[in-house]
Amino acid sequence: MSKERLVIVGGDAAGMSAATNARRRRSPEDLEIIVFDKGAFVSYAACGIPYFIGRAVDQVEKLLARRPEEFARVGIQVYTRHQVEAIDLSSRTVLVQPLEGGKAFREPFDHLLIATGAVPIRPPLPGMDAKGVFGVNNLEDALALDRYLEETGAQRAVIVGGGYIGLEMAEALCQRSLQVSLVEKEPQVMLTLDPDMAEPIAQALREIGVALYLGEALQGIEAANGRVRAVVTEARTIPADVVVLGMGVRPNTALAQEAGIPLGEKGSIVVNERMKSPIEGVWAAGDCAQSFHLVSRRPFWVALGTVANKHGRVAGINIAGGYATFPGVVGTAITKVCHLEVARTGLQERELRALGWEWVSARVEDHTRARYYPGSAPITVKLLAERDTGRILGGQIVGGEGSGKRIDVIATALHACLTAHEMANLDLAYAPPFAPVWDPLLNAARQLLRKL
Amino acid sequence: MSKERLVIVGGDAAGMSAATNARRRRSPEDLEIIVFDKGAFVSYAACGIPYFIGRAVDQVEKLLARRPEEFARVGIQVYTRHQVEAIDLSSRTVLVQPLEGGKAFREPFDHLLIATGAVPIRPPLPGMDAKGVFGVNNLEDALALDRYLEETGAQRAVIVGGGYIGLEMAEALCQRSLQVSLVEKEPQVMLTLDPDMAEPIAQALREIGVALYLGEALQGIEAANGRVRAVVTEARTIPADVVVLGMGVRPNTALAQEAGIPLGEKGSIVVNERMKSPIEGVWAAGDCAQSFHLVSRRPFWVALGTVANKHGRVAGINIAGGYATFPGVVGTAITKVCHLEVARTGLQERELRALGWEWVSARVEDHTRARYYPGSAPITVKLLAERDTGRILGGQIVGGEGSGKRIDVIATALHACLTAHEMANLDLAYAPPFAPVWDPLLNAARQLLRKL
């Protein structure tokens, strides 16, 4: 067999996970692996950025999983600061522009993996390019924001967007003693939760001093001498020394689209269960690739590090001639906001309404541990089940320490298509330091049963 | 319909749960509910005893879920200190002896629920009745031990038995500054774990100063003036001011046996999925009743508060004319030993060997959170899967904070008969404060896949 070349565009979670998994199966003599990334870093934990900004993680180096030199040692050639500008499917080459200078060149491939991730959404509003307006999508962003905070002694921060990143950043900036406001166009924070479950999170943010302006769309940013001065919403003008954008992301697939590679859900690259695109030899993984939602049974797009790693692993194995599949996701996500652990999985009421499905829901207020055991904290569990079958369709959890990861039980139930009845009978672990004698999940399932 | 009578023998988790569930469905005018318990307390959290002894729970009252007066208010008549001495199936009566004095009387029943719990195993060895030798099976035991420790200023404690209760009591007595030794006849502590998973627990106990004597059977207790002086094993004599027995329990079914009610696994009362014994109108629930093991697919006996509550609920609903079933357990259990959370579910290697099943196992050492996130702690996960089918058969977890309740995912996988492949693809929650990007459970499942 003559030597083959795998070119990977994008060197974060999905790309490097694919590279590593492909390398494990085929030697450098047999498969060349070349990674291009336009950034200065590869293989880093983007999800750790808010904790670096909030100083829970003291050095940015701790977020780097592996460096280019380490990949080089196993025969994976990583070129940082190299932008892939075009994919040519007829000649099977990519056009690469070195960003530190030098001429663009064409790199041939036998296999191409597109792992270009996601790009932050930045609506074309006045002042978005002012100094002091930051995204936190990658390590360069994070370092720039950190430096700006240090150098300017910024006091007043406005976060735009009340999703995971927005909330994590709001808390992080509070921890750095900034005065924080948060603007969100929807009437609730955390749109991936039902409104009743999102309310306690808004409350927790207010308690640590975050000013919340919900239901107010961003209209623009006011600057003075090119530097941010205020954030303007439909209802008010909020003075700001620094602005952090957390308005969501979309798949970074312009490159793929220009090359004629089919796009699907929200513009993500269409792939099969082996992460192959409809074009022979072209694969996609991570935030730029489509997933399948195992509960709605429809194509689904989600940008999450854990999914990106799974995509990358499956792509890498298949590219190297092995066999692996990624069946899909159930929509699990988790975060920590102030003292609250927040988690969700499956479909929420908004999604069920859009699908036209009928459901019943149960919400229980309970405790994380036996009430008499020290550290027992409140936990709220919401479960949704299909009206006629009783099949669990989703769950949401908000509560103190020990609440969040309970979502994994609901996620597993979704994978297995368990009904509320089956869930109410789960043999979950009980001892006073860990749960009440009826785990809150069992209580929620029993509550559902009464309504079905 | 003429008024019916439900007599319940035993007023702890199973009995009172049944009473409450039956009452919810039928009014006092329709169903009389009478509970007899030989002890002074009903409806208490026996699992909380070690934490009361260790002073993590400061008042014994906190372990009382509900008092007889509260049950009286909803028309459940509770007679504490009343021992049921016989069940007469032909006349459908029980013979009750009030323990505070008064004549024995016969109480008729239409429905009888036996919820007599378990009794501690006390081998007939010399000195077992000496003063200063305690079981910790109920609140009276706990109060007596607590009083003894206070009054005698005991310094040296010997625990006999290295199971859940033994280990929890060893730690509790360390917390009360006693010098603690633990004797266990098997070569490991925590026989419900595989030896490799039990070793770190023994190590943790040694680190807090517990002297472990493993593989040494108890031969007897030495007393002076009727009071304990030492514990004698096959290998040594250990001076002791107080001895706590944690040698396991067995179903408390002498009463049932004498009445001719069929017994099954380990002498527990045979019941169907509705918790009915083979005798019409006679039900059993809790530590005295048999369960079904959903993994081994065989009758199984386990004494656990959480199972007792489920049994009781199902029995109560059915007795009241409703319909509920208890499909069975998967063998989940959890505890905290020193800084370690310890949990298990399904079948362990010893059980698989006894069944003649073939399995593969994987053990991974991992972290509870992203490595860079503060508080990330070591966690060890062991998974077992059936060799030919890949079906998950069991799991064990030992690790720092956040480890133990992860067992619930494996328990759910067992209920759903998931394979290692399905488990490796679970969409488990990831964010740096909660897990590495690959949850330790996923890593363990992937490791299994490589061996299948």
How far B345 CA lies from chain A's nearest CA (Å)? 9
Binary contact (B57, A326; C-beta < 8 A)? no
Closest CB from B407, B418, B437 relative to A416: B418
Check: CB of residue A276 under 8 Å from CB of residue A260.
no
Check: CB of residue A451 under 8 Å from CB of residue A362.
yes
CA angle, residues B109, B110, B115, in degrees to nearest 5:
65
Q: What is the pLDDT of residue A1?
A: 52
**Taking CA atoms, what residue in A is nearest to B54?**
A373
- A46 three-state secondary structure: helix
How far B98 CA lies from chain A's nearest CA (Å)? 31
The model carries a pTM of 0.96
Catalytic residues of A: 47
Binary contact (B429, A405; C-beta < 8 A)? yes
Binary contact (B306, A425; C-beta < 8 A)? no
Binary contact (B48, A306; C-beta < 8 A)? no
How far B25 CA lies from chain A's nearest CA (Å)? 13
Residue A240 makes CB contacts below 8 A (sequence gap 6+) with A132, A156, A157, A158, A181, A221, A228, A229, A230, A231
Level-2 CATH architecture, domain B333-451: 3-Layer(bba) Sandwich (3.50)
Alpha-carbon distance of B119 to B249, in angstroms, equals: 5
Binary contact (A425, B433; C-beta < 8 A)? no
Alpha-carbon distance of A201 to A188, in angstroms, equals: 9
**Taking CA atoms, what residue in B is nearest to A326?**
B425
Residues of A in contact with B441 (CB under 8 A): 408
Alpha-carbon distance of A105 to A97, in angstroms, equals: 7
Q: Give whole-number Cα distances, B200 to A85, B188, B379, in Å.
A: 54, 10, 11
pLDDT digit string, tens, across residues B327-352: 999 999 999 999 999 999 999 999 99
How far A309 CA lies from chain B's nearest CA (Å)? 8
Alpha-carbon distance of B244 to B228, in angstroms, equals: 11
Fold entry, domain A4-119+250-319:
FAD/NAD(P)-binding domain (3.50.50)
Interaxial angle between packed helices B195-207 and B164-175, expressed in degrees from 0 to 180 and rounded to the nearest 10:
10
Residue A254 makes CB contacts below 8 A (sequence gap 6+) with none
Binary contact (A409, B413; C-beta < 8 A)? no
Residues of A in contact with B51 (CB under 8 A): 372-373, 432-433
Give the type of residue at B193: L
The domain over range B133-247 is classified in CATH as 3.50.50.60: yes
Mean pLDDT over residues A228-257, rounded? 97
Q: Which of A326, A114, A345 is nearest to B430 (CA)?
A: A345
Chain B contact probe: residue of A334, A419, A427 with most B CBs at under 10 A: A427
Residues of A in contact with B428 (CB under 8 A): 306, 332, 408, 411-412
Closest CB from A306, A407, A432 relative to B51: A432
How far A178 CA lies from chain B's nearest CA (Å)? 22
pLDDT digit string, tens, across residues A21-30: 999 999 999 9
- B447 three-state secondary structure: helix
Q: What is the pLDDT of residue A409?
A: 98
The per-residue pLDDT string of chain B (452 residues; one tens digit each, 9 = 90 and over) reads: 568 999 999 999 999 999 999 999 999 999 999 999 999 988 888 889 999 999 999 888 889 888 889 999 999 999 999 999 999 999 999 999 999 999 999 999 999 999 999 999 999 999 999 999 999 988 899 999 999 999 999 999 999 999 999 999 999 999 999 999 999 999 999 999 999 999 999 999 999 999 999 999 999 999 999 999 999 999 999 999 999 999 999 999 999 999 999 999 999 999 999 999 999 999 999 999 999 999 999 999 999 999 999 999 999 999 999 999 999 999 999 999 999 999 999 999 999 999 999 999 999 999 999 999 999 999 999 999 999 999 999 999 999 999 999 999 999 999 999 999 999 999 999 999 999 999 999 999 999 999 99
Chain B contact probe: residue of A20, A339, A412, A434 with most B CBs at under 10 A: A412
Binary contact (B427, A48; C-beta < 8 A)? no
**Residue-wise over B369-387: b if at least 16 C-beta within 10 A, else e?**
bbebbeebeebbbbbbbbe
Rg (CA), chain A: 23
**What are the structural domain ranges in chain B?**
4-47+60-119+250-319, 133-247, 333-451
CATH node for B4-47+60-119+250-319:
3.50.50.60
Residues of B in contact with A25 (CB under 8 A): none
Chain A contact probe: residue of B427, B434, B450 with most A CBs at under 10 A: B427
**Taking CA atoms, what residue in A is nearest to B338?**
A433
Check: CB of residue B166 under 8 Å from CB of residue B159.
yes
Alpha-carbon distance of B329 to A407, in angstroms, equals: 21
ipTM for the complex shown:
0.96
Q: How high is the mean pLDDT of chain A?
A: 96
Q: Encoding tokens for residue B276?
A: 């009915």
Question: Going along B185-300, which residue ranges are E strands?
Answer: 211-214, 218-224, 227-233, 237-239, 242-245, 249-251, 282-284, 291-293, 298-300
CA angle, residues A65, B423, B408, in degrees to nearest 5:
95
Q: What is the pLDDT of residue B1?
A: 52
Alpha-carbon distance of A445 to A420, in angstroms, equals: 5
B133-247 and B4-47+60-119+250-319 share a CATH fold:
yes
Q: What is the pLDDT of residue A67?
A: 87
Binary contact (A51, B427; C-beta < 8 A)? no
Q: Which helix (H) or strand (E) holds A259?
A: helix A254-259
Contacts 24+ apart (CB under 8 A), A59-66: A60/A139, A60/A142, A60/A143, A60/A146, A62/B371, A62/B372, A63/A139, A63/B372, A65/A16, A66/A16, A66/A42
Binary contact (A335, B408; C-beta < 8 A)? no
Q: Which helix (H) or strand (E) holds A258?
A: helix A254-259
Check: CB of residue A228 under 8 Å from CB of residue A132.
yes
In chain B, % of residues over pLDDT 70: 100
